[in-house]
Chains A and B, each alone.
Chain A
Amino acid sequence: MNQNLETLLEIQDLKSQRRELAEAGEREMQEQVFGLGVDEALAKLDEKIAEMEESLPPPVKSRYRRVSTRLPRFLVPVINGTCYGCFVAVPTAQASDSERNAEIRSCENCGRFLYHVD
């Protein structure tokens, strides 16, 4: 798997975690069940996200900034050959390539980065 794609995937996962943690239901659950200090946790997540963004090489970072500004879900899975951002089929050759996560690819329709899930 491409190292920069892995970093992008982790940034997307952390941003999802952050967004959900800030929502009322999850916040309440995390505070009551786990005794988590949510505001402090959100600040730590922001710090980690910024650190990972800075670790991207300039061309990837610039592409990431462009896509993520427009689309909060900037990286989406491809499941059964379909982009789960816009639900349009990705080209067959790309979907069936065994090394499909070896480079950073984008959906030709919506522009999101793609991560192929088996």
Chain B
Amino acid sequence: MELREFLAEDAIQLDLKGESKDEILKELIGLLGVDDKSQGILFKMLKRRENLGSTGIGKGIAIPHCRSLVVNRLRLAFGRKNGGVEYKAIDDQTVNYFFLIVAPPLEVSNQYLPVLGRIAQFAKEPDVAERLAALENPREFLALLEEKGV
């Protein structure tokens, strides 16, 4: 299993416009191409998860995630916000890089946890933040995932 299996090029946005956590979450959900009603439900579920504790894991990286019936397969999106936004991350720093994961409650192959684990592993690599900052297009992001073997 590789992360890029779940990530289309049009679900990668290297110039997010949002200026707040909520705006960024909405923008990321918009990358998934689901209908407006489903976007609203996903936003509520992601907010509920964030209200339990921030998904900002430090080093400028966040992994907002939820399960919901409104999607019928695991979906990923990636976004970069130049300058970062306040996200109540674990290290109190602003967040620039966002990996969104949404999945249905019951998947046949149950990939949700392994995908979450792979992203967390990727985010811990010492050069990742620097490499993400230097990306010029979505293809470079996919190539980075491939290079890191995630």
Contacts and interface: CB of A to CB of B under 8 A. Distances in A.
Q: How large is the interface on A (under 10, 10 to 19, 20 to 34, 35 or more residues)?
A: 20 to 34
Interface string B29-41: 0000001010001
Interface stretch (B1-9, B76-84, B113-121): B113-121
A1 interface: yes
B145 to A, nearest CB: 18
Contacts of A29: 113, 116-117, 120
B68 A34 contact: no
B26 interface: no
Contacts of B120: 29, 33
A25 B68 contact: no
B66 interface: yes
B128 interface: no
A41 interface: yes
Contacts, number: 74
Interface residues of B, number: 29
Contacts of B48: 14, 17, 48
A76 B53 CA distance: 28
Interface of A: 1, 6, 9-10, 12-14, 16-17, 20, 25-26, 29, 33-37, 41, 44-45, 48, 73, 75-77, 79, 101, 115, 117-118
24 contacts: A12-B69, A12-B105, A13-B41, A13-B66, A14-B48, A16-B67, A17-B45, A17-B67, A26-B113, A29-B120, A33-B116, A34-B53, A34-B54, A34-B55, A34-B63, A37-B53, A41-B52, A45-B52, A48-B48, A73-B105, A75-B69, A77-B104, A79-B72, A118-B35
